[in-house]
């Protein structure tokens, strides 16, 4: 199995664990797509989200100890409101374009995304037996181009050449759609392979 296939399988396990957690919160099936490895630099993420002016909610955790890098969830604001509706069991719609207000109204969704990132990493940590320490969650509500400034600053130098696995998650009615991004630093990629007995 090549390196990319290994990382895709890790992401599949992580996103599967996170999606199971979300399914319990909203009491419905959450499906995941096939992990993709087509992103080679952080700026490529912008192109995968369509209209650049549409606000998104980005949740980013910086990784340290046995693994360095970031894990991130990006969900469009309108989809985040659909998720909020499912969590609260009542309809909640976006009625404003003010980013600060959207950020405040989606505070519960931010907490959920933080929990999902934790579930994602917990599965990877358990499989590899690596001690993965996370920063407090960082949140950004902005257009996708501006939102990517946050993970870029946390990742540090080298964002033009990264290993990134993207995995979609969604409800069966497609009202809620988001994406996981697992972006280990290059040195940590070797640690992951070694932990799995593949390096």
Query: Where are the domains positioned within the chain?
Result: 3-195
- pLDDT band for position 159 (cuts 50, 70, 90): confident
> Whole-model pTM?
0.95
In three-state secondary structure terms, 65 is strand
| Topology at the third CATH level for domain 3-195 | Chemotaxis protein chec (3.40.1550)
Query: What pLDDT, in 10s, does the model give residues 36-55?
Result: 998 888 888 988 887 678 89
- Mean pLDDT (the chain, rounded): 93
Region 75-88: mean pLDDT is 96
Query: What pLDDT, in 10s, does the model give residues 107-137?
Result: 999 999 999 999 999 999 999 999 999 999 9
Residues 6+ positions from 94 with CB-CB distance below 8 Å: 77, 78, 81, 102, 105
């Amino acid at each position: 199995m090549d390196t990319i296939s290994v990382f895709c399988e890790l992401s599949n396990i992580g996103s599967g664990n996170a999606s199971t957690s979300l399914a319990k919160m909203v009491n419905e099936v959450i499906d995941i797509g096939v992990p993709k490895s087509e992103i080679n630099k952080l700026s490529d993420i912008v192109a995968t989200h369509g209209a650049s002016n549409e606000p998104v909610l980005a949740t980013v955790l910086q990784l340290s100890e046995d693994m360095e890098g970031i894990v991130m969830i990006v969900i469009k604001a309108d989809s985040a409101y659909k998720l909020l509706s499912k969590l609260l069991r009542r309809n909640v719609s976006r009625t404003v374009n003010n980013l600060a207000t959207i950020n405040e109204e989606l505070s519960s969704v931010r907490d959920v995304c933080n929990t999902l990132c934790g579930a994602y990493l917990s599965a990877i940590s358990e499989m590899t037996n690596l001690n993965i320490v996370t920063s407090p969650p960082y949140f950004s509500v902005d257009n996708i181009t501006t939102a990517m400034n946050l993970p870029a600053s946390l990742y540090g130098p080298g964002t033009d050449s990264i290993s990134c696995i993207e995995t979609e998650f969604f409800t069966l009615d497609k009202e809620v759609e988001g994406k996981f991004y697992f972006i280990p630093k290059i040195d940590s990629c070797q640690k992951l392979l070694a932990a799995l007995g593949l390096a």
